[in-house]
Amino acid sequence: ANAAICELPFSTISSDTTGGVGGTCVIRGCVPKKLLVYASKFSHEFEESNGFGWRYDSEPKHDWSSLIANKNAELQRLTGIYKNIF
């Protein structure tokens, strides 16, 4: 893997200044998409949970800004891991 990285036509470290380390999948593609899709599934789960004995004092509410902040924190965590690898 290290040999392949050395042969890239660009510096993997320099990408840190233009959006982060980890590549498209981690920063803009697969990982953010999976986090958002996973979050979207809870709405249906809350609806179905009444049939399994779950009760809520009020209707569950979604906080978009909290979701985005937590998604960004996870992407920063992953970027930090990739920085330490190289």
CA 71, 31, 79: angle at the middle one, nearest 5?
A: 70
User: What is the CATH T-level fold of the domain 2-85, as seen in this structure?
Assistant: FAD/NAD(P)-binding domain (3.50.50)
Task: Evaluate if residue 1 carries a pLDDT over 60.
Answer: no
Q: Are 33 and 71 in contact (CB under 8 A)?
A: no
Average pLDDT, the chain: 79
Using a pLDDT cut of 70, give the percent of the chain over it.
Answer: 74
12-32: pLDDT as tens digits: 444 445 556 677 777 878 999
- Separation of alpha carbons 85 and 53, rounded Å: 46
From the list 33, 40, 45, the residue with the least C-alpha distance to 71 is 33
